[in-house]
Structure 1
Amino acid sequence: MNVTGTPPSPARPVPRWTHTDDYYVDGAWVRSTAAARLPQIDPATGREWGTVPDCSAEDVDAALAAADRAFRTGPWARTTPSERAALLCRIADEVEARAAGTAVTNTLENGSPIGETRGAAANAAGILRHVAGLASWLEDEDVRPFPAGGAESVVRKDPVGPCVLIAPWNFPINLMVVKLAPALLAGCTVVMKPAPGTSLSIRFVVEACAAAGVPAGVVNLVTGGGEVGDRLVRHPLTAKVAFTGSTPVGRRIAAACGELLRPVTLELGGKSSAIVLEDADLERVAPALIRTCLRNTGQTCYISTRILAPSSRYDEVVDMVTRVVASAPQGDPFDEDTVFGPMASQAQYDVVRDHLDSAHAEGARATTGGHPADTDQGWFIEPTVFADVTPDMRVAREEVFGPVVSILRYDDLDEAVALANDTRFGLGGVVFSADPAAAQAVAERMDTGSVGVNFFASNHNAPFGGRHDSGLGVEYGIEGLAQYVTFKSIHRRLG
């Protein structure tokens, strides 16, 4: 394997679960009625290590019937937000207790470096505890006077009902929990469906819910591909859908939910920009570069894979980015030093390889990488920096979702902002500058859901969502919790 770092060992860690034939419904693991199984494949070796059911229509019906029954007639309907908040905190403790097993399984599923997946349980627990702290927003009485006087309205926040939660393969734990936590706090019940290739690590979350005392039917899990997802989205018992994934799939879900007048939250793709201002200290930019622009081997929706550099410092920026990316080890995702692992699947490997070919053909210059890695196993792409990229190139416009960053040139600040906004997406972004006020002013002009100043990170207390082709609605914060309630106004006369 001609890459930096340790090649994958034939002896891989042993996960908690491998070949399974069950799904979770009404508080128990039940054998699926489906004959078909989905393989779970180690992306670093290309070898199958597990299977899960491709759940049947009967399985989907059973899961949503359980969620509907628990919502309408079970003890869950009589719990208070404070009681549900206490339950979320217990789930958080149980999730953290399963951190090691979650990390191993997650890395075997999608090839994310162990340094990344080891933090998944703690991050998920943090989400659960933070959302628990929002219970007062649901409990506080909201009374609003009539403008003309003589009457008032009590505004109630009722749970929307059984929710379908669909998470992607790149961060399968956290991107599920960010939906699960507010849904449970609001009083909803859920049916979770992970991505087909990352269907075993989520069992640790289900196990944590059961250990924490979640009543039967409140949390359910089915596994499967697109047909299972479509059944869940269109099922007559589904009250709301929350989905994170690709924009094309998100469009189909949005169309179905629009037809059914069903609320939906969509967190979709991105093509975000990092604007390097002329005064930026590149030695301070360097340590933030990989997490901001290439996190999780470039398989992160909000990362800024387009770096916009001033013409006066273009060569300096290219040299710095090339040095940082070229020096970051690629190899076995179970190696503690690995920064770049494999692509999560053969399909994603093929997509990224096609983008590399397109960039070369259109005249982009690879300053490091630029090709599939020289290896006889796994789906590795060399971490790549493309210079001399122009805005019309495909690599500058489409989401690559791999370890590929493009560096574009701008002449003045207005051009930089115009380039950053010249995309059909609007999810993330970052501005690097020695002057935080100047960076803030540029961030205000960027047409995107989130922007960082000299770093980028999600804040559990602030809304995260995309504009344009990057989605609908938000997650995190009070605003994310509000996606799982339906409002009712009760009008009453005074006196």
Structure 2
Amino acid sequence: MSALPQTTQPNGVFDGPYYLSIAGKLVESKNSFDVINPATGKVLAEAPAATAEQLDAAIAAAKIAFKSWSALGYDGRQKYMNAYADALEAHRDELARLLTQEQGKPLRTMAEPEVDQSISWIRQIAERRILVEVVEETAEHIVELHHTPLGVIGAITPWNFPVLLALWKVAPALITGNTMVIKPSPFTPLSALRFGQIAQSILPPGVLSIVSGGNELGPQLTHHPDIAKISFTGSTETGKHVLRAAAGTVKRVTLELGGNDAAIILPDADYRSIIPQLFWGAVGNSGQWCVGIKRLYVHRSFHKEFVQAFIHYARQQKLGDGLDHEVTVGPVQNKMQFDKVKAFIDDIKANGQNIVLGGDVDENLPGYFIPVTVVDNPPESARIVQEEQFGPIVPIIAYDDVEDAIARANNSPFGLGGSVWGRDTAAAVAVANRLETGMVWVNEIHTQGVDIPFGGHKQSGLGTEHGFEGRLLFTNPKTVLIRK
């Protein structure tokens, strides 16, 4: 056991060892598991596999820490959080490199911005406050609405943005007075373990614990009676299991789940100028993001020209190891997802759909590389249209009537995000307002911010992250009635 984080090596690279973070200490585990570099297919590091007892210990420490942490008040907690952001910034380069090695995303264009945004997010959230509201005052009494912290938050975080999506949860949970135990994805635990190690020298013991391990830890976290809320980001099917498990103790639950986001390119769009935005909206992070563009609906009047322009832009990109500064598209993160994406390609070919770019996976290459693949005008019934591919495959679908495009976009059990593109902003907004989504962009894509609420509709989620609304969900509304 150690009370201090391991230091960065002289060359600015951290290569372990990795520990669990429990009760302010760095804790070893008797078991470990391999973490694979998706660009090489080789073992990158060994991560500790927490026991059930160690997870219980982390939750118990968080419960104890909650009393003093919640009593600090916003200003006291802000000082700790700013110090934590400073410490993360001092380790920024190593965190970004580690993120590329375990997740696969290009260092310069994806990993470094992810770490930078995470640090900025902590600082911005630390400035936010939820104030006491006077909802009624008469000569006889006053009624106040307070928002008190819930207790111990259990966070289950995914492998596609393992730094950002974790710290997006940490910041609002901690500033509102809660403590947190994070279970990172077993595919990408290293960056979370590392930022947990850094936290132990900054935050009071038990305020933030990181406990890595297999999928068996998830149910233990969601069933645990001392967890007040589960904040989960991941697949819809796993989210359903989380919701059922949380019901036993009536936990608060926020679920950010899958999506099949549609982009509608209106007939008046200057489509050539927006090709880069649409490409990266679909293929950024190798297509592995919940709000990525999964379906492109393009008006038939310029559909052929659009497909050719999209292909031309795609051919300018380089597929490879994200540590190569010329690489813009990295590998798919893990073998499981690699096989799923290949299955989509096999289905497209088996059904005679028109692949106009990519589609050939060289399985002799090391790592999990899927080339950017473009499918021209598959039928609406195609699997690549109906399901979430979560990989670098882009179906570009022709439509004739905007009403039909809206109906197709909404014909999905998912409703996370969407986008609408056109010169007539008012007309584009009118279309956007008819999309059944939790978030929709007009003539931009993937803009996020600490004050911008983000959540899903239908089977894409439950509750809200970010914004004032998201911060409220880490609190309990408590009505205080005072006789004068």
List, as ranges, runs of 4+ consecutive aligned residues in structure 1 with deviation greater than 6 Å: none
Q: Which of residues 463, 478, 484 is equivalent to 1:488?
A: 478
1:378 aligns with 2:377: no
Distance apart, 1:19 and its partner CA: 5.2
1:403 aligns with 2:392: yes
Partner letter of residue 429 of structure 2?
Answer: Q
- Whole-angstrom distance in 1 between the partners of 2:480 and 2:107: 52
- Whole-angstrom distance in 2 between the partners of 1:85 and 1:437: 41
1:122 aligns with 2:116: yes
State whether residues 277 and 444 of structure 2, in contact with CA within 8 Å, keep that contact through their aligned partners in structure 1.
yes
Q: Which of residues 72, 77, 89 is equivalent to 2:82?
A: 89
Residue 153 of structure 1 aligns to a residue whose secondary structure is: strand
1:280 aligns with 2:269: yes
The C-alpha deviation readout for 1:230-263, integer Å capped at 9, x for no partner, is 1111112111110111111111001111232100
1:477 aligns with 2:470: no
- Whole-angstrom distance in 2 between the partners of 1:18 and 1:50: 8
Q: Which of residues 346, 352, 355 is equivalent to 2:341?
A: 352
1:145 aligns with 2:136: yes
Map of 1:27 onto structure 2: 24
Flag structure 2 segments of 5+ consecutive residues without an equivalent.
Answer: 1-10
1:314 aligns with 2:310: no
State whether residues 39 and 321 of structure 2, in contact with CA within 8 Å, keep that contact through their aligned partners in structure 1.
yes
The C-alpha deviation readout for 1:431-454, integer Å capped at 9, x for no partner, is 111222221111111111111112
Aligned in 2, Cα 1:249/1:15: closer, same or farther, shift over 3 Å?
farther
Map of 1:161 onto structure 2: 151
Flag structure 1 segments of 5+ consecutive residues without an equivalent.
Answer: 1-12
State whether residues 314 and 409 of structure 1, in contact with CA within 8 Å, keep that contact through their aligned partners in structure 2.
yes
State whether residues 17 and 200 of structure 1, in contact with CA within 8 Å, keep that contact through their aligned partners in structure 2.
no
Residue 264 of structure 2 aligns to a residue whose secondary structure is: strand
The C-alpha deviation readout for 1:363-397, integer Å capped at 9, x for no partner, is 32111001213642111111100012111111101
Map of 2:57 onto structure 1: 62
Residue 214 of structure 1 aligns to a residue whose secondary structure is: coil
- Whole-angstrom distance in 2 between the partners of 1:240 and 1:366: 45
Q: Which of residues 276, 292, 298 is equivalent to 2:281?
A: 292
- Whole-angstrom distance in 1 between the partners of 2:363 and 2:245: 43
Aligned in 2, Cα 1:97/1:365: closer, same or farther, shift over 3 Å?
same
Partner letter of residue 42 of structure 2?
Answer: R
- Whole-angstrom distance in 2 between the partners of 1:331 and 1:283: 27
Residue 70 of structure 1 aligns to a residue whose secondary structure is: helix
Map of 2:99 onto structure 1: 106
Residue 408 of structure 1 aligns to a residue whose secondary structure is: strand
Residue 51 of structure 1 aligns to a residue whose secondary structure is: strand
- Whole-angstrom distance in 2 between the partners of 1:256 and 1:179: 20
Map of 1:17 onto structure 2: 15
Partner letter of residue 312 of structure 1?
Answer: S
Residue 305 of structure 1 aligns to a residue whose secondary structure is: strand
- Whole-angstrom distance in 1 between the partners of 2:365 and 2:72: 55
Residue 347 of structure 1 aligns to a residue whose secondary structure is: helix
Distance apart, 1:205 and its partner CA: 2.1
State whether residues 279 and 310 of structure 2, in contact with CA within 8 Å, keep that contact through their aligned partners in structure 1.
no
- Whole-angstrom distance in 2 between the partners of 1:299 and 1:110: 10
- Whole-angstrom distance in 2 between the partners of 1:400 and 1:271: 8
Q: TM-score, normalised by structure 1?
A: 0.92
State whether residues 273 and 420 of structure 1, in contact with CA within 8 Å, keep that contact through their aligned partners in structure 2.
yes
State whether residues 99 and 120 of structure 1, in contact with CA within 8 Å, keep that contact through their aligned partners in structure 2.
no
**Count of residues paired in the alignment:** 472
1:42 aligns with 2:32: no
Aligned in 2, Cα 1:368/1:149: closer, same or farther, shift over 3 Å?
farther
The C-alpha deviation readout for 1:20-45, integer Å capped at 9, x for no partner, is 4x31111010122x43x221111111
The C-alpha deviation readout for 1:323-380, integer Å capped at 9, x for no partner, is 2222211112111121111110111100000011112222321110012136421111
State whether residues 98 and 121 of structure 1, in contact with CA within 8 Å, keep that contact through their aligned partners in structure 2.
no
- Whole-angstrom distance in 2 between the partners of 1:182 and 1:427: 21
Map of 2:8 onto structure 1: none
Partner letter of residue 15 of structure 2?
Answer: W
Residue 300 of structure 1 aligns to a residue whose secondary structure is: coil
Q: TM-score, normalised by structure 2?
A: 0.94
Map of 1:3 onto structure 2: none
The alignment yields a C-alpha RMSD, in angstroms, of 1.6
Map of 1:201 onto structure 2: 191
- Whole-angstrom distance in 2 between the partners of 1:432 and 1:243: 31
Residue 327 of structure 1 aligns to a residue whose secondary structure is: coil
- Whole-angstrom distance in 1 between the partners of 2:89 and 2:427: 40
State whether residues 299 and 398 of structure 2, in contact with CA within 8 Å, keep that contact through their aligned partners in structure 1.
yes
1:368 aligns with 2:357: yes
Over the matched positions of the two proteins, sequence identity in percent amounts to: 35
The C-alpha deviation readout for 1:287-313, integer Å capped at 9, x for no partner, is 212221111011111011200011222
- Whole-angstrom distance in 2 between the partners of 1:18 and 1:77: 33
State whether residues 297 and 339 of structure 1, in contact with CA within 8 Å, keep that contact through their aligned partners in structure 2.
no
Map of 2:412 onto structure 1: 423
Residue 386 of structure 1 aligns to a residue whose secondary structure is: strand
